[in-house]
Amino acid sequence: MSQEVSVLDFGSGKITVLIGKRGINNTLVLSGIGESNYAGFCNGEFFDPGNLSYAVAHAINAAEAAARTTIEHLIVGVPGEFTTAVCQDVSISLTKKRKVLESDLDALHEMGNNFKNNPEYTLINSQPIYYTLDDGRKIIQPVGLTSNKLGGHISYVLAENSFIDKVDNLLKELNIESYDYMSSLVAESMFLFDDNIRDRFVVFIDSGRITTSVAVVQGDGILAQYNVPMGGGHITNELAYEFGIGYTQAENLKHKIALNLSASDDDVYTITTNRSDTVEFSAKRANDAVSSVIWVIADTITKSLKECSYDYPDYIPYHLTGGGIAYIKGASELLAKYLKRPVEVVAPSLPQSARPHLSSSLGLLDMAIRITPQQTKTTGFFKKLFRFGKKRGGNQ
């Protein structure tokens, strides 16, 4: 029987705690959900660190109450805003021609692990882009194959120690003694895209309320990642500024936006206020305001991806997820126009959970279940996914 696991997801506007397990047909069964809105983060800093502990505690308590359980071990997702990916070519000699063992993969990953005692970063994930054997073949799973040497292009994901230290102290205050850290972007990419798609490269854009993360993925690892300090909240702010209205009204107006329709000067969006009054806004002005923010986000993404040293194919689409932009009608089409590349909205392929804003938290839960040793007959898959993940608390 599948064991329940617990994850903590730091969104840029909401903290989510999930408690769940694997269901039939590889589904995810949730027994507890806890959410808490908070000020969020941007440019590697939390806006209101003083209230961060309260927000996390509220989400944890809500999830525990719903699941009628107490969290014994927690997987903490580290957002892309607080991580960086470093890829390295490494190789080891096997001394003689023999079958590759799991321990050889451990030795290979350790060979490239030169991040120990780094004052700024902690290694949280080590994933293969691909492995190589003595005949030069690029493969994802070499165990059991015969070779006299083993190489690979390995992606090491590092978390900022400022984030690790802050969350360490926070969880200590909340009496959470056993926890691990995991890259949210790694978990999300493994969850949203199957092996065949990832082997051909994936570029996905996770746009939240305040920040947007972009990841270039191949195999099981992240080749490059970039952060854009803008998201859906900036669209709301632009609408509030354009029409001189409050944030709540602007948020309601954003939900009416249809960028895929050509608005005339006479077209309006109508929203209902808390007093049940109706207010009309120029659809053309609103669409132009939203489009201007999406253009800036797209321009920043384009400039960031030009820095990518990996030559991924021109024919692959970009994928959009997260709750910041994906729900705006016509946003993906407009983003595609600006990026000059097809953009497809992607969400969890699960019944009743096929929502882009759930991609990160459900991705963490899915990987947390995968790496739970009890889920596999051997620890091989556990090691492969979470080879040098930082263990904290009671499991050190």
What does the pLDDT read at residue 105?
95
CA distance 389 to 321: 25
Whether residue 275 is predicted with pLDDT greater than 90 in this model: the reply is no
* Each residue's pLDDT tens digit, 321-356: 999 999 999 999 999 999 999 999 999 988 788 899
Distance in angstroms (rounded) separating the CA atoms of residues 60 and 391:
20
**Helices within 178-317 (DSSP H only):** 184-192, 195-199, 232-243, 247-254, 283-306
Query: Do 328 and 221 fall into the same domain?
Result: yes
Look at residue 261 and tell me whether its pLDDT is greater than 60: yes
Residues 80-128 pLDDT 10s = 999 999 999 999 999 899 999 999 999 999 999 999 989 999 999 999 9
Average pLDDT score, the chain:
91
Same domain, 198 and 340: yes
Q: 103, 138, 159: which is the final residue of a domain? A: 159
What the block records as the tokens of 36 is 């808490």
Is pLDDT at 367 greater than 50 in this prediction? yes
Residue 23 lies in a domain: no
Whether 7 maps to a domain, the answer reads no
Task: Answer yes or no: do 234 and 336 share one domain.
Answer: yes
As a whole number, mean pLDDT of residues 231-243 equals 97
Please, which pLDDT band fits residue 24 given cuts at 50, 70 and 90?
A: confident
Q: Which domain holds residue 253?
A: 194-345
Do residue 155 and residue 206 come from a single domain? no
Please tell me whether residue 168 adopts helix, strand or coil conformation: helix
Residues 229, 289 within the same domain: yes
25 falls within a domain: no
User: Rounded to whole angstroms, how far apart are CA atoms 193 and 214?
Assistant: 15
- Does any domain span residue 183? no
In terms of pLDDT, which residue wins out, 109 or 396?
109
3 state DSSP class of 259: coil
Portion of the chain with pLDDT greater than 70, in percent: 93
Query: What six digits make up the tokens of 325?
Result: 């932009």
pLDDT at 32: 96
Are 246 and 330 found together in one domain? yes
Residue 373: the pLDDT is 57
Q: How far apart are CA 242 and CA 348, in angstroms?
A: 34
pLDDT tens digit string along 151-190?
A: 999 999 999 999 999 999 999 999 999 999 999 999 999 9
For the segment 347-369, the average pLDDT, to the nearest whole number, is 92
Instruction: Give the angle subtended at the CA of 17 by the CAs of 14 and 20, to the nearest 5°.
Output: 145
Looking at residue 350, its pLDDT comes to 84
- Is residue 187 a part of any domain in this protein? no
User: What's the number of domains the chain is made of?
Assistant: 2
Q: Please report how many Cα atoms fall inside a 13 Å half-sphere around the Cα of residue 252, on the Cβ side.
A: 15
pLDDT at position 70 = 95
Residues 44-50 have a mean pLDDT of 92
State mean pLDDT over 358-381.
72
One domain for residues 145 and 204? no
Query: How far is the C-alpha of 316 from the C-alpha of 199, rounded, in Å?
Result: 12
Q: Answer yes or no: is 272 within a domain.
A: yes
Q: What is the CATH number of the domain that holds 239?
A: 3.30.420.40
Which DSSP letter does residue 317 get? Answer: P
Query: Do residues 244 and 201 both lie within one domain?
Result: yes
User: Max Cα separation, the chain?
Assistant: 80
Q: Specify the pLDDT at position 290.
A: 98
Q: Measuring CA to CA, how many Å separate 176 from each of 168, 306, 317, 395?
A: 9, 42, 41, 12
Distance between CA atoms of 312 and 217, rounded to whole angstroms?
10
| Residue 281 lies inside a defined structural domain of this protein | yes
- CA atoms of 33 and 352, how far apart (whole Å): 14
Q: How do strand 221-228 and strand 178-183 relate by DSSP bridges? A: unpaired
pLDDT at 379 over 80: no
Same domain, 151 and 220: no
Joined together, the tokens standing for residue 285 give: 């002005």
Boundary-marking domain end, from 330, 345, 360? 345
Is 137 in the same domain as 259? no
**Domain containing residue 109: CATH number:** 3.30.1490.110
Domain-embedded: residue 206? yes
224 and 324 housed in the same domain = yes
Parallel, antiparallel, or unpaired for β 121-132 and 146-160?
antiparallel
Domain boundary among 159, 180, 208: 159
Q: 111 with 217, same domain?
A: no
Lowest mean pLDDT: which of 18-27, 305-314, 363-372, 385-394? 385-394
Which pTM does this prediction carry?
Answer: 0.91
